[in-house]
Amino acid sequence: MVGGVRELAAPFVVPGPCGVAVRDRLKHLTPQDEKVLRLVGEHQGRLASRDLKARCADGLEHGAESWASRKRGLTGASSSRIAGAITKATHDQWALARRCQTAHIQTLEAGIRTLRHRLSLPIGAPGTKRAPGGFRSRGEWFHKSRRLKALEARHSSAVRDRQTGRVRVVRGGKRLLNTRHHLAQAHLTEEQWRERWEAERWFLAADGESGKRFGNETIRLTDTGEVSIKLPAPLAHLANARHGRYTLASTVAFAHRGVEWADRIAANRAVAYRIHRDVDRGRWYLTASWRRPAVQTVPLETAQARGMVGVDTNADHLAAYHLDPHGNPTGEPHRFFYDLSGTATHRDAQIRHALTRLLHWAKQTGASAIAIEDLDFTAEKTREKHGRRKRFRQLISGIPTGKLRARLVSMAAEHGLAIVAVDPAYTSMWGAQHWQKPLVTPHRRMSRHDAAGIAIGRRALGHPIRRRTAPPRAHQSDVHGHRTAQAGPGIRGRDGTRPPATDHAPRGVPPNGTRKRRPSASNTVRDAPSTHEWVQDSLMRTG
């Protein structure tokens, strides 16, 4: 860290996605089809709940023997493949709960450190860019000291749970569970909530198997779109096909990545399927997912070859600017707005729509990569650090960093664009300082976010954010040469002085060496010839 500026991390190309998923609606289902799907989902959902309870009871003592024992207990009530899918989903859910528990502990530790620092300062002590200052009043100091004790108690409880391997998991979702106590605010009746709760706890999923027919034995989807399900043993009497299978009346045709899916099932490669019901719309959907082989990311030099699109992420829009390989902004700034209010489905659709427009515009510019900040607000959005700045805390909490980054990487890979992540330090401040005002014209309005997009793009291209560094003091450029951030002599369009010319004609002589007309007499009194001197000179000559 030199001169108060922290060391910046080097930009890097983000690895591409390792899996894909497509979805289609199950149309024209008969009442018998829906009845069978409900019964299978409820039966396997009860098995999944029982298995999750057993896994949480094992805690850190879980091993291969206990896993095999749980699977054998489920096989009698379903099948070996369904039991394997349930135990694998249970293990993944428990591991996710452990990761969330670790993140919660880290957030509590960040808040405790900040509160201890602020409580150790005198009342009204000013803060710095790196650390907040003291509290404003004695009353606020007292309330924050009580909050510190509460956070320490929560931290001790969370650490004890982690050491003993205890996690808290709700099948169906904690938010939906708490909605049961606030039905009026959610505009739901008890029957509507119960229907949603049961649908979220169903289990209608199957992992794929390479080498098996069409890549899945439990939920089979043929190349003609026919869907059939292997029924569990207690529901085998509902089968309408051979070998205890039930064939749905609906067919499926994936409009997106359908060719890739067809190639996989033709080679009997593994494809996982999941069937779920959208209670609000009253529709059934089937989702297919599979893994992709690890793709080697392009080198950073290749991503920088044809310029970059710098994108600044904000709470309500993406601010993008196109830069050429030399770091010069070209064209006009573009903004892609989205609305993150409403349901999770609405927010997800808004982000997807904004990213689609961004990627289409990036392809039109001819750039080969998109630069984005490597944002992580895990320890930065705590109320202990920012204190009374409630609007700022809401702002950084509303930026969808994780979901936006994951979707952008996945969608950019389909368009052949690379994603370059850069250090977010000082991009907004330096972008506004060096780029916002110079690019304002009568027909162009530049915001702070547009300038930040330029700063992000220049950092991804390997150029400094400043347009030109300050000139040296000793005789300007005569002693030390040009500015350090100035382009070299071999780069076209560089921002430098005009090279010296040695083939100019002498001043006052036209190119052909002769004057076309004689110079006219001056109209000023000072340059006019004196009449008195001319008369005296004539008299002397005649005399």
Burial classification of residue 89, based on how many CB atoms lie within 10 Å of its CB (0-12 exposed, 13-18 middle, 19 or more buried) = middle
Taking 90 as the threshold, does the pLDDT of residue 125 lie above it?
Answer: no
- CATH at residue 342: 3.30.420.10
Alpha carbon distance 296, 291 (integer Å): 15
Contacts for 216 with CB less than 8 Å, ≥ 6 apart: 206, 207, 208, 209, 270, 271, 272, 273
Asked if residue 336 and residue 249 are part of one domain, the reply reads: no
The answer to whether position 379 is within a domain reads: yes
pLDDT at 391: 62
Asked if residue 196 and residue 79 are part of one domain, the reply reads: yes
The answer to whether position 489 is within a domain reads: no
- In the numeric block, the tokens 């043993």 are attached to 233
Boundary residue ending a domain (461, 489, 505)? 461
pLDDT at 482: 55
The answer to whether position 509 is within a domain reads: no
State the amino acid at position 172 in one-letter form.
Answer: G
Asked if residue 229 and residue 107 are part of one domain, the reply reads: yes
Boundary residue ending a domain (267, 291, 315)? 291
pLDDT at 543: 46
Q: Express each pLDDT in 386-440 by its tens digit.
A: 556 666 565 556 566 667 777 888 888 888 899 999 998 889 899 999 999 889 8
User: Max Cα separation, the chain?
Assistant: 149
The answer to whether position 494 is within a domain reads: no
Alpha carbon distance 373, 458 (integer Å): 12
What's the domain count of the chain? 2
Q: Is 287 helix (H, G, I), strand (E, B) or coil?
A: strand
pLDDT interval class at 52 (50, 70, 90): very high
Asked if residue 401 and residue 330 are part of one domain, the reply reads: yes
Asked if residue 269 and residue 398 are part of one domain, the reply reads: no
Mean pLDDT of 229-237: 94
Q: Express each pLDDT in 86-122 by its tens digit.
A: 999 999 999 999 999 999 999 899 889 989 999 999 9
Asked if residue 129 and residue 44 are part of one domain, the reply reads: yes
Boundary residue ending a domain (438, 461, 484)? 461
Contact 346, 489 (CB under 8 A): no
Asked if residue 32 and residue 146 are part of one domain, the reply reads: yes
Taking 80 as the threshold, does the pLDDT of residue 528 lie above it?
Answer: no
- In the numeric block, the tokens 């080198």 are attached to 299
Contact 204, 198 (CB under 8 A): no
Q: Express each pLDDT in 258-287 by its tens digit.
A: 999 999 999 999 999 999 999 989 999 999
User: Which structural domain, as residue segments, surrounds residue 424?
Assistant: 298-461
Asked if residue 309 and residue 270 are part of one domain, the reply reads: no
The answer to whether position 232 is within a domain reads: yes
The answer to whether position 486 is within a domain reads: no
pLDDT at 405: 76
Asked if residue 310 and residue 272 are part of one domain, the reply reads: no
Asked if residue 302 and residue 445 are part of one domain, the reply reads: yes
Q: Which of 252-266, 306-320, 379-393 has the lowest mean pLDDT?
A: 379-393
The answer to whether position 115 is within a domain reads: yes
Mean pLDDT of 223-244: 93
Q: Express each pLDDT in 31-46 by its tens digit.
A: 999 999 999 999 999 9
The answer to whether position 487 is within a domain reads: no
Asked if residue 398 and residue 361 are part of one domain, the reply reads: yes
